Amino acid sequence: MDRDERFARADRVIKVGFWINAFLMVMKLLAGHFGNSEAVFADGVESGCDFIAILSTIIALKIGRKPFDDKHPYGHGKAESISAVLVALVIFATGGGILYNAVTTIINREYAEPQLMAVIAAFATIVIKETLFRYSRTVSKRLESPAVEAIAKDHRKDALTSVATLIGVGGAYFGIVLLDPLAAGLTALFIFHIGWETFRSAAHDLMDGQPPEELISGVTAIAESVPGVEHVHEIRGRRSGQYLIVDLKLEMDPEMTVKESHDIATEVKRLIFERFPNVGDVMIHINPHEEEHEDLIRL
């Protein structure tokens, strides 16, 4: 999959989520207001906050797809992780607002009796959002995009939120009015959890955390399979948007010519690109095999 196709797929996921979210926001706000359901209205407010999240993701993808330049020699992919952090903050703020309203309602005992339209809106949201989550997650796994993954998690959060909303508004519809604000409070807990997961993942990438072990071991195996590579002395990696940047230290015969070692390193890089389409660059340093050497580093 080439670079343009990767970005086109990410764009498609974001745009589909954006417009469906717009429809759900209007539907839930109207159903919550006219259907007398605090839980459904809170769900609609949460969808409104998603607009901020999706908009920031759209901006991040536009920035992240810019090619590297003199000031950003590693590209602009980190913009996606920054966007994911902003999405997490929006999720946290939304959860806090919903929890506050739910607690206030319970304390003041200002319960309303929901209408059938509110129940239908909650059920429809579950079906639509879970479908969006599965679609977005499939694409995010293929692209390994932190921004698309954050949006996928946000869709799952909405689906889980609406399950609690359906239970609450459904119970209140049949006479247990306390369930509606309780469902809104439970919704807030779901929101906090997913916000934390999104923030933790994005922060890991921004701190140049090591990629998954299966990728590290896979790259190591490929490098050591190339004739002339005696051993992978060290391997590190970090994420930049949808791509990973890998640093390799290879041990080779110290009597090898510069051209020979260069050709072997190029073959290693080619095979890694072939096997892992989400690897954007491979930096290779060559050390003499079975000779004492010092790798200078200040970190």
Mark which of 161, 178, 206 sits at the end of a domain: 206
pLDDT for 3? 63
Residue 86 sits in which domain range? Answer: 3-206
Chain centroid to CA 9: how far?
A: 15
pLDDT for 2? 60
Q: Is it the case that residue 202 has pLDDT exceeding 80?
A: yes
pLDDT for 299? 67
Q: What is the mean pLDDT of residues 77-96?
A: 82
61 & 107 share domain: yes
pLDDT: which is higher, 146 or 284: 284
Task: Extract the tokens encoding 89.
Answer: 């903050």
State the CATH number of the domain containing residue 251.
Answer: 3.30.70.1350
Q: What is the mean pLDDT of residues 201-207?
A: 86
State the CATH number of the domain containing residue 117.
Answer: 1.20.1510.10
DSSP string, 56-113: HHHHHHHHHTSPP-SS-TT-STHHHHHHHHHHHHHHHHHHHHHHHHHHHHHHHT----
Separation of alpha carbons 50 and 63, rounded Å: 20
Q: What is the mean pLDDT of residues 197-202?
A: 85
Judge contact between 192 and 213, C-beta under 8 A: no
24 & 54 share domain: yes
Q: Evaluate whether residue 66 is within a structural domain.
A: yes
Listed in sequence order, the residues at least 6 apart from 44 whose beta carbon sits closer than 8 Å to its beta carbon are 24, 25, 26, 27, 28, 29, 30, 31, 32
Q: Is it the case that residue 1 has pLDDT exceeding 70?
A: no
141 & 244 share domain: no
Mark which of 176, 206, 236 sits at the end of a domain: 206
134 & 270 share domain: no
Q: Evaluate whether residue 95 is within a structural domain.
A: yes
Task: Extract the tokens encoding 160.
Answer: 């889980």
202 & 217 share domain: no
pLDDT for 272? 94
- What's the pLDDT band for 235 if we cut at 50, 70, 90? very high
Residues 153, 159, 161, 163: is their CA dihedral positive or negative? negative
184 & 231 share domain: no
Q: How are the residues of the chain apportioned to helix, strand and coil, as percentages rounded to the nearest 5?
A: 70, 10, 20
Mark which of 206, 233, 262 sits at the end of a domain: 206
- Phi/psi for 289 (5° steps) reads -75, 135
Total structural domains in the chain?
Answer: 2
